[in-house]
Chains A and B, each alone.
Chain A
Amino acid sequence: AQTVTQSQPEMSVQEAETVTLSCTYDTSENNYYLFWYKQPPSRQMILVIRQEAYKQQNATENRFSVNFQKAAKSFSLKISDSQLGDTAMYFCALTGNQFYFGTGTSLTVIP
């Protein structure tokens, strides 16, 4: 069975500061991919960043970066220089045969 766990239901961060969202997962597959999705109040699901499990190098997309620890099955998201527009629900996701989502972390950026 594949599972994705996000243990932080809610987080907040001051504008311009850095915040890290945690995600752990479990899978028996060797070839898989990990993703972070953002869901702002508009409800639209937006792909933030992706990581191939066979790549050791951590993915980076502008202010967003991940800390991928394959042996620990950990996939955290770091948001640098937080902006008000980063306020959203963030979902960690794992894909193998299917696409599995965590329960989400609600992030609020405080002005």
Chain B
Amino acid sequence: NAGVTQTPKFQVLKTGQSMTLQCAQDMNHEYMSWYRQDPGMGLRLIHYSVGAGITDQGEVPNGYNVSRSTTEDFPLRLLSAAPSQTSVYFCASSRGGVYGYTFGSGTRLTVV
């Protein structure tokens, strides 16, 4: 099993550019989420999904879009990158409850 696969691992963007962070899982998990990790702030939820076709906003959704057309994939789109979006991004999936989340290896994004 590959688990949760995130691409790319590193990315540098210029202010105003757009891009998509890819996330795929092969565990047939219903729950998927995107987090950003910033020093001293822990992991903050950006968007989440409880199943294909269903998404919702988390704590810090502004500037990001998501879609969930299949159970496996949950891409995160940055519409117009800003320096404040410089962060490490994690995708995670779960079958819920006591099982917790399985995380991808993260994407370090720098916006200049």
Give bound CA distance, A104 to B105, whole Å.
18
Is B45 a contact of A99 with CB atoms below 8 Å? yes
The residue of chain A having its C-beta at the shortest distance from the C-beta of B96 within the complex is A95
> Which residues of chain A come closer than 8 Å to B106, judged between CB atoms?
43-44
Question: What band does the interface of chain A fall in when counting residues whose beta carbon is under 8 Å from B?
Answer: 20 to 34
In chain B, residues 10-53, which have Cβ atoms closer than 8 Å to a Cβ of chain A? 33, 35, 40-45, 48
Q: Is B98 on the interface with A (CB-CB < 8 A)?
A: yes
The residue of chain A having its C-beta at the shortest distance from the C-beta of B101 within the complex is A99
Interface residues of chain B, those whose CB is within 8 Å of chain A, are 33, 35, 40-45, 48, 58, 88, 90, 92, 94, 97-98, 100-103, 105-106
Interface residues of chain A, those whose CB is within 8 Å of chain B, are 4, 6, 9, 33, 35, 37, 43-45, 47, 50, 52, 91, 93, 95, 98-104
